[in-house]
């Protein structure tokens, strides 16, 4: 399982890459593997305001439909429209081209509650 050390992780299996006050969000390698083949991503709406823990999109796979939750509060500043035509990017490149959205954080201190790679590895192996 791939768990990049430079990212932060939520207990709901989202990864977070910080760039100043903006974070890029996606699903982890563990999550995409558990989901199976992703066939549809309900790409969220740019400009939507999110609260920590709020469901903001759904991912449909051959196995199930799963909610994706906001790991931080803020406003969606950009979405990955490529997922409309290629939802399988979540499987093939979860930490790269398979990102879901970017959020302009309203409460950056919420990042402190997220796990580092070692913490996330312990969660998934436990």
pLDDT per position as a tens digit, 23-32: 999 999 999 9
b/e map of 35-47 (b: 16 or more CB within 10 Å)? beebeebbbbeee
- Provide the mean pLDDT of the chain: 96
Between 2.60.40.10, 2.40.10.10, 2.40.50.100, 3.30.1550.10, what CATH number should domain 8-111 receive?
2.40.50.100
| Structure confidence at residue 126 (pLDDT) | 81
Three-state SS letters, 74-126: EEEEEECCHHHHCCCHHHHCCCCCCCCEEEEECCHHHHHHCECHHHHHHHHHC
In the prediction, which pLDDT does 91 show?
A: 96
**117 vs 64: CA distance, rounded Å:** 26
% of residues, the chain, pLDDT over 90? 97
What does the DSSP 8-state code read for residue 65? E
Question: Two tokens at 29?
Answer: 């390698």
DSSP string, 19-57: ETTEEEEEE-HHHHHHH-SEEEE-PPPTT-EE-TT-EEE
- Give bridge partners of residue 41 from the DSSP assignment: 59
Q: Tell me, what's the pLDDT at 1? A: 84
- Quick: pLDDT tens for 68-99: 999 999 999 999 999 999 999 999 999 999 99
């Amino acid at each position: 399982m791939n768990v990049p050390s430079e990212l932060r992780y939520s207990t709901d299996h989202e990864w977070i890459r910080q760039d100043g006050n903006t974070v890029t969000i996606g699903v982890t390698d563990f999550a995409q593997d558990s989901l199976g083949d992703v066939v549809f991503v309900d790409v969220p709406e740019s400009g939507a305001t999110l609260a920590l823990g709020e469901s903001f999109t759904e991912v449909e796979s051959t196995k199930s439909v799963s909610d994706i939750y906001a790991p931080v509060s803020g406003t969606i500043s950009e979405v990955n429209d490529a997922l409309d035509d290629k939802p399988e990017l979540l499987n093939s490149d979860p930490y790269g081209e398979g990102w879901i959205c970017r959020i302009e954080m309203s409460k950056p201190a919420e990042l402190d509650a997220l796990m580092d790679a070692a913490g996330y590895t312990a969660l998934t192996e436990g």
